């Protein structure tokens, strides 16, 4: 049983939310009424003393759980030595050690070079720049449904929700969006079995884009998420990803894997591209990299990241405390949590498949994922009508029941807890999900 002292949210939480609404920008997507007091592992407590199971992990960020003692120790020890010196001007060992480790685990058989950033978006910006610099080409191909960030360069690649782009045009010129492999909802309107047999999304790049829109030899890079995250936790067919690699090889285009949400062990391997058997040229990392300390990385083949001194920089990028947290994180992920992510993720997927027999909204829905990146798409009927309102209600009811769970895509719920989550907490979270979904289905007249 979870500790429950007041309604969720309680009076103290409500007071903070009211003050927040009065002073903070209204630009953020509507938030969930949860005000954290503290966290430990995969559990969090609000300011009114209520306990929750955390299936959200701060949007797949707190990879080692909240406040892992080893991460806290690394942060504390580094903070007692020095907090900042500017890696753009001076050197420090903890940054070098982290870059060496990232180069060691990079998903390509070539030496790597590393650029450290503060965020995922900044890593994407770095990737765009290095790709343009190396290829001396201007165009970039990205995918419908993609989320790569919110600054103007990264936003130009993002094609997730129009509200994210509306009001900010013109964006970066030379960005071309194409369909992403999704047999469950093929953008070309093909049947699921045909799409699984042979997806034509990658063909579209050769057959349409390169013939009608932009010459292949003007394209610097194809950027893709190895599992589309904000787009709905979509796992593409590995043949689609392999075809992207072939297109890149045929035309001297760089393949950029945005592993910001998928990377650092979340899928049971260091990088999700490893599941697809593909080696990218550039990898963007962030989110789980430093267990919640702000840090991102652009990891590229050494010959690609050969830009000259002064070409790029970042005052806070590679902050020493973030680097120390990242080193502790990578050690923990390597020595067990990555394996745990694979096991607990499979357990969640199996449990959701089983729930299809009792939940009408799951029955014809899509349950998909790798490791602890599992999505469950809620639908209203056999025709797969997206159950968007129902999904939103489940999130809200789950919160009231003591479960933090986030949506993604139009009608998907994502299960992305910390990689250290124990089986007992997984089960408790799934029970709360089951209960919350039943409540929402009853309200909607589906049960
Ligand atoms: C795949 C992907 N790329 C980029 C970003 C942007 O990262 P950040 O919010 O750290 O700037 C996100 C964030 O959700 C993401 O999921």
Which among 142, 149, 164, 180 is the best mutation to test ligand 1's pocket, defined by most ligand atoms within 8 Å of the CB? Answer: 149
Q: Is the CB of 226 under 6 A from ligand 1?
A: no
Bridge partners (DSSP) of residue 293 are 291
3-state SS, 297-363, equals EEEEECCCCCCCCCCCCCCCCCCHHHHHHHHHHHHHHHHHHHHHHHHHHHHHHHHHHHHCCCCHHHH
Provide the pLDDT for residue 363.
98
pLDDT tens digit at each of 447 positions of the chain: 899 999 999 999 999 999 999 999 999 988 999 999 999 999 999 999 999 999 999 999 999 999 999 999 999 999 999 999 999 999 999 999 999 999 999 999 999 999 999 999 999 999 999 999 999 999 999 999 999 999 999 999 999 999 999 999 999 999 999 999 999 999 999 999 998 888 899 999 999 999 999 999 999 999 999 999 999 999 999 999 999 999 999 999 999 999 999 999 999 999 999 999 999 999 999 999 999 999 999 999 999 999 999 999 999 999 999 999 999 999 999 999 999 999 999 999 999 999 999 999 999 999 999 999 999 999 999 999 999 999 999 999 999 999 999 999 999 999 999 999 999 999 999 999 999 999 999 999 999
DSSP secondary-structure letter at 291?
A: B
CB atoms within 10 A of CB 445: 6
Pick the CATH number of 11-68+336-443 from 3.90.1150.10, 3.30.70.270, 3.90.1640.10, 3.30.43.10: 3.90.1150.10
- Please state, in angstroms and rounded to a whole number, the distance separating the CA atoms of residues 158 and 51: 35
Backbone phi, then psi, for 43, in 5-degree steps?
-125, 145
Whose tokens are 């994180």? That residue is: 329
Please report, for the chain, the start and end positions of each structural domain, with discontinuous segments joined by +: 11-68+336-443, 70-331
Provide the pLDDT for residue 410.
97
Dihedral angle of Cα 360, 365, 367, 368, to the nearest 10 degrees: -170
CA of 256 to the centre of ligand 1 (A): 14
Q: Is the CB of 145 under 6 A from ligand 1?
A: no
Widest pairwise Cα distance in the chain: 64
Backbone phi, then psi, for 261, in 5-degree steps?
-95, -30
CB 403 within 8 A of CB 384: no
Q: Is the CB of 147 under 6 A from ligand 1?
A: yes
DSSP secondary-structure letter at 373?
A: E
CA of 435 to the centre of ligand 1 (A): 31
Choose among 274, 264, 272, 260: nearest CA to 333.
264
- Please state, in angstroms and rounded to a whole number, the distance separating the CA atoms of residues 102 and 107: 10
| Residue 146, burial from CB neighbour count under 10 angstroms (0-12, 13-18, 19+) | buried
| Residue 27, burial from CB neighbour count under 10 angstroms (0-12, 13-18, 19+) | exposed
- Please state, in angstroms and rounded to a whole number, the distance separating the CA atoms of residues 81 and 367: 47
Atom number of ligand 1 nearest to Cα 296: 10
| pTM of this prediction exceeds 0.85 | yes
Provide the pLDDT for residue 197.
87
| Residue 374, burial from CB neighbour count under 10 angstroms (0-12, 13-18, 19+) | buried
Is the domain spanning 70-331 CATH 3.20.20.70? The answer is no
Atom number of ligand 1 nearest to Cα 146: 1
Q: Is the CB of 119 under 6 A from ligand 1?
A: yes
Atom number of ligand 1 nearest to Cα 121: 11
Atom number of ligand 1 nearest to Cα 59: 14
CA of 230 to the centre of ligand 1 (A): 9
Q: How many CA atoms lie less than 13 Å away from 330 in the CB half-sphere?
A: 22
Angle at 130 between CA 285 and CA 127, to 5 degrees: 25
CB 267 within 8 A of CB 257: no
Give me 44's structure tokens. 């969090």
Q: Is the CB of 409 under 6 A from ligand 1?
A: no
Question: Measuring CA to CA, how many Å separate 204 from each of 160, 312, 446?
Answer: 20, 34, 39
Give the helix ranges, DSSP H, for 198-278. Answer: 201-204, 238-251, 273-276
- What is the secondary structure of 41-62 as a DSSP string? BTEEEETTS-EEEESSHHHHT-
Backbone phi, then psi, for 112, in 5-degree steps?
-120, 160
Backbone phi, then psi, for 397, in 5-degree steps?
-65, -40
CA of 289 to the centre of ligand 1 (A): 12
- Specify the 3-state DSSP secondary structure of 2: coil
Choose among 116, 29, 60, 67: nearest CA to 325.
67
Length of the chain in residues, anyone? Answer: 447
Give the list of residues 6+ apart from residue 251 with CB closer than 8 angstroms, or none: 210, 216, 217, 219
- Please state, in angstroms and rounded to a whole number, the distance separating the CA atoms of residues 51 and 168: 40
CB 159 within 8 A of CB 141: no
- Closest C-alpha to ligand 1, atom 8: 120
Q: Is the CB of 266 under 6 A from ligand 1?
A: no
């Amino acid at each position: 049983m979870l500790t429950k002292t007041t309604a969720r949210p309680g009076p103290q939480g409500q007071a903070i939310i009211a003050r927040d609404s009065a002073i903070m920008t209204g630009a953020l997507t509507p938030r969930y009424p949860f005000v954290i007091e503290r966290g430990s592992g995969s559990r969090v407590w609000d300011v009114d003393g209520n306990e929750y199971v955390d299936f959200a992990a701060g949007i797949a960020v707190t990879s080692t759980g909240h406040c892992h003692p080893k991460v806290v120790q690394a942060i504390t020890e580094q903070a007692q030595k020095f907090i900042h010196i500017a890696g753009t001007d001076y050197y420090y060992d903890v940054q070098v050690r982290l870059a060496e480790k990232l180069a060691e685990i990079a998903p390509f058989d070539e030496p790597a070079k590393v650029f450290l950033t503060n965020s995922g978006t900044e890593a994407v910006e770095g990737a765009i720049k290095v790709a343009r610099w190396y290829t001396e080409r201007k165009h970039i191909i990205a995918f419908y449904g993609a989320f790569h960030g919110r600054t103007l360069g990264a936003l130009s690649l993002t094609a997730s929700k129009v509200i994210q782009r509306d009001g900010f045009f013109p964006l970066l010129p030379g960005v071309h969006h194409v369909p992403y492999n999704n047999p469950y909802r093929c953008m070309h309107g093909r049947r699921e079995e045909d799409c699984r047999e042979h997806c034509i999304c990658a063909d579209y790049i050769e057959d349409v884009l390169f013939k009608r829109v932009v010459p292949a030899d003007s394209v610097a890079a194809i950027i893709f998420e190895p599992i589309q995250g904000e787009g709905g936790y979509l796992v593409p067919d590995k043949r689609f990803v392999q075809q992207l690699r072939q297109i890149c090889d045929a035309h001297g285009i760089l393949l950029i894997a945005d592993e910001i949400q998928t990377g650092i062990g979340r899928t049971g391997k260091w990088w999700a591209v490893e599941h697809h058997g593909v080696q990218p040229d550039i990898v963007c990392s962030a989110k789980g990299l430093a267990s919640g300390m702000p840090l991102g990385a652009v990891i590229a083949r050494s010959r690609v990241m050969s830009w000259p001194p002064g070409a790029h920089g970042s005052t806070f990028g590679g902050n020493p405390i973030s680097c120390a947290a990242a080193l502790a994180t990578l050690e923990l992920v390597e020595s067990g949590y990555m394996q745990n992510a694979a096991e607990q993720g499979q357990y969640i997927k199996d449990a959701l498949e089983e729930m299809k027999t009792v939940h009408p909204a799951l029955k014809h829905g899509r349950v998909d994922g790798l490791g602890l990146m599992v999505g469950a798409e809620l639908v209203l009927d056999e025709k797969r009508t997206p159950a968007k309102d129902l999904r939103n209600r489940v999130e809200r009811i789950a919160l009231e029941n003591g479960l933090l769970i986030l949506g993604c895509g139009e009608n998907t719920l994502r299960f992305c807890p910390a990689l250290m989550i124990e089986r007992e907490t997984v089960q408790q979270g799934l029970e709360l999900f089951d209960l919350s979904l039943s409540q929402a289905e009853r309200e909607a007249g589906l049960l």
